[in-house]
Amino acid sequence: METYRMIVLGLVMGAAFGFALEKGRVFEPGVIVGQMQFRTFTMLKMFLAATATGLIVLAALNGIWGVKLHPKGTEYVADAVGGVLLGVGIVLAGACPGTLLAQVGVGYRDAWFALAGGLAGAISFGYAEPALKPLISGGPGKLTLDKLIGLPFWAVALALAAALVAGMVALEKARPWQADLGADFDGLPEK
């Protein structure tokens, strides 16, 4: 695929993702912090849907067209420390990397500080990585579920997508999205 088409496809996919984030209200700091406190589950349902969709697309690309996947190697310390730092940053900022630009776009002034902090952190890590590498590296390398159980990737991806959808449906039945967003979820005046 030529570069121009890839850029257009990326822009279309980004616009669709941004539209879904805005309509699902998962970019709002209260929803993000509520998810981290296990008070609301709209964000989790949205991300489970995105993950299931991505798994289905990757299964089709891999199973039908033979596209090879190149997973990054597992490094236990780096993954654990990075996950903790990301989680703490999400709670403190009320934003995650996927929602930050949506917050900037709708005019949350605090989002500019979170964006500046995220960029400063990424730049700092870029300079510090060579010194940190010996401390944070080490793990089994490329560890994937399909290789562990000996099945083709596309089959494992479709099974996992089905399990995620089932979990999402169960979560929606237990906690409907309207309960998370409140009585005025549609923005219409009460009757």
Q: Comparing C-alpha atoms, which of 48, 47, 51 is closest to residue 27? A: 47
Q: Global pTM?
A: 0.80
Local structure of 141: helix, strand or coil: strand
Provide the pLDDT for residue 149: 95
Tell me the domain boundaries of the chain. 3-152
Q: How confident is the model at residue 13 (pLDDT cuts 50, 70, 90)?
A: confident
Q: Which alpha helices (DSSP H) does 94-186 contain, by range?
A: 100-106, 110-136, 145-149, 153-174, 177-181
The proportion of the chain whose per-residue pLDDT surpasses 70, expressed as a percent, equals 94
> Residue 74: what are its φ and ψ, rounded to 5°?
-80, 130
Residues in the chain: 191
Q: What is the pLDDT of residues 67-85, one digit of tens each?
A: 899 999 999 999 999 999 9
Distance CA 158, CA 145 (A): 13
